[in-house]
Amino acid sequence: MKLYNTLSKKKEEFVPLEEGKVRMYVCGPTVYNFIHIGNARPMIVFDTVRRYFEYKGYDVNYVSNFTDVDDKIINKAIEEGVTADEISKRYIAECKKDMEGMNVKPATTHPLATEEISGMIAMIETLVKKGYAYEKNGTVYFRIRRFKDYGKLSHKNLDDLRSGERSLLVSGEDEKEDPLDFVLWKPKKEGEPFWESPWSDGRPGWHIECSEMSKKYLGEQIDIHAGGEDLVFPHHENEIAQSEAANGKEFAKYWLHNAFLNIDNRKMSKSLGNFRTVREISEQYDLQALRFFMLGAHYRSPLNFSAELMEASKSGLERIVNAADNLKFLMKHADGNMTAEEEALLTGTDKFVKDFEGAMEDDFNTADAVAAVFDLVKYCNTHAAQKSSGEFLEKLLGVLVKLTDVLGILVDKKEEILEEDIERLIEERKAARKAKDFARADAIRAELLEKGIILEDTREGVKWKRA
């Protein structure tokens, strides 16, 4: 399997640190609002990367944080007159709802920055002790000059960076030894959340959060670190400096970065008024269509969002779902084992699986993987018929589901049924039976079964369970 490593600027063969295992960290969102569709891109593409590793049999430890202490959160809290904690908790819950809608699997661990402060303080203390960090008036800075590999990820020239930064230097920051030194710990301002530390009552810098959480949940060395391309510099460059200086080991082997999502060919921004949240999209579309849209491009290519492209994704997704529905419909009236001819037809699907895997093995080329799924859909539509055996149809559906599962596309989404609706239908069935309307009673039982609810008539009355 080949993946493009930002560190080497090359596609490299994936070799795990530990056989059969993948340790992967993906920088998560800062939670001060509903997530926007740009934030959804890394969530969807790296969830798909995870799913492909799992498909290949790897055990994936997938960690993705929530940054729940930040100026933007504090400002929003002030605006609403509530605590920063209330803001971050609210938007973490909302983000998880959006993730569920997009069928993004929950991470193995979703650490919260505010719950990991003591570990961050310990890491900063190590950096100070080793001479990689220094304190000035309660603020602790990372001394980039001490870290000889600084710039290796972003491939930046330090002198150019310095001259750029020098002109940006604002007063109060000139206590730094070098304009590129960055903050590890900063003192609180009035009214801000804070934690006690050896240097001041304050809070950690953003970069140290990920270095610490990655170390705590995945160990000092990890296979893959990922995020949007805007994070390469300074965030990931600084994470490398902190982690490698503190631990004395290479931090992550492979660095993966998704390109940006634009709207109508323009950068998404509040000032342009073209900012779209995932929640807004969900009012118009099933979020599966948004997921499918994201996977239609390679993750390292810029992606443009527009109403027309979204409509095209919706109908593309429908083609796949319809093919699966058709197979399921035919299966209802079919039985029997495969004929020799059907066996040969089933073997014919190997080509699509091979194409799909080949695309994914080539730096997760989901665009080509989707094309292979469409080829399979066409094949299913051509070869599944009323005379097909049940076994053949089932196996065909199995191949389709195997591939769509990797993409996180659900082809047999069960309609969710609420408990109160189940109870209501059970009552209705009881009434129908009393009135000797057995046809209606049976229809209700069948309707519930279709939705995965099994009824059991017992001495104590009707009981139900989810299948």
Residue 238 binds ligand AMP, judged by CB under 6 A: no
Give the residue among 335, 331, 330, 318 at the shortest CA–CA distance from 413. Answer: 318
Q: In angstroms, what is the minimal distance from the CB of 226 to ligand AMP?
A: 8
Which residue in the set 124, 210, 324, 411 belongs to the binding site for Zn ion (CB under 5 A)? 210
Cβ contact 6:230 at 8 Å: no
Whether 302 contacts 262, CB under 8 Å: yes
Number of H helices, E strands in the chain: 16, 14
Nearer to Zn ion, 209 or 286 (CB): 209
Letter for the amino acid at 414? K
Q: Is the dihedral of CA 309, 311, 317, 320 positive or negative?
A: negative
Pick 65 or 404: Cβ nearer ligand AMP? 65
Task: Report how many residues bind ligand AMP under the rule CB under 6 A.
Answer: 15
- Minimum CB distance to Zn ion smaller for 244 or for 391: 244
Q: Which residues, 3 to 62, sit near ligand AMP by CB under 6 A? A: 27, 29-30, 38-39, 41-42
Element (DSSP H or E) covering residue 285: none
**Length of the chain in residues, anyone?**
467
> Can you list the alpha helix ranges (DSSP code H) found in 333-365?
340-347, 350-361
Please report whether residue 213 would count as binding Zn ion according to CB under 5 A. no
Q: How far is the CB of 274 from ligand AMP (least distance, A)?
A: 11
CA angle 364, 368, 369 (to 5 degrees): 65
Please answer whether residues 460 and 448 qualify as being in contact, where contact means their C-beta atoms are separated by less than 8 angstroms.
Answer: no
Least distance CB 208 / Zn ion (angstroms): 10
Q: Which does 210 bind (CB under 5 to 8 A by kind): ligand AMP, Zn ion, none?
A: Zn ion
Quick one: DSSP state of residue 64? E
Q: How far apart are CA 362 and CA 376, in angstroms?
A: 20
Contacts of 320 (CB under 8 A, 6+ apart): 373, 374, 377, 400, 404, 409, 411
Q: What does 233-271 look like in DSSP terms, one character per residue?
A: IIIIHHHHHHHHHHHSS--EEEEEEEPPEEETTB---TT
Span of 260-268, 308-316, 352-360, 393-401 interacting with ligand AMP by CB under 6 A: 260-268
Tell me the closest approach of the beta carbon of residue 25 to Zn ion, in angstroms: 8
How far is 467 from 465, CA to CA, in rounded Å?
6
Q: Do 20 and 60 touch, CB atoms closer than 8 A? A: no
Closest residue to ligand AMP, judged by C-beta, is 228
Smallest gap from Cβ 169 to ligand AMP, in A, equals 24
Q: 261, 369, 384, 393: which one contacts ligand AMP (CB under 6 A)? A: 261
Asked whether position 441 contacts Zn ion by CB under 5 A, the answer is: no
| Residue 455 binds which entry of ligand AMP, Zn ion, none, CB below 5-8 Å type-dependent | none
Binds 261: which of Zn ion, ligand AMP, none (CB < 5-8 Å by kind):
ligand AMP
Nearer to ligand AMP, 146 or 207 (CB): 207
Burial of 198 (0-12, 13-18, 19+ CB in 10 A): exposed
Q: How far is the CB of 37 from ligand AMP (least distance, A)?
A: 8
Which of 230, 280, 350, 412: binder of ligand AMP (CB under 6 A)?
230
Q: Which of residues 141-200 bind Zn ion (CB under 5 A)?
A: none
Residue 101 contact among ligand AMP, Zn ion, none, beta carbon within 5 to 8 Å by kind: none
Tokens of 465: 């369970």
CB of 55 or CB of 260, closer to ligand AMP: 260
| Contact positions with Zn ion (CB under 5 A) in 20-39 | 27
Residues lying near Zn ion in the complex (CB under 5 A) are found at: 27, 210
Residues lying near ligand AMP in the complex (CB under 6 A) are found at: 27, 29-30, 38-39, 41-42, 227-228, 230-231, 258, 260-261, 268
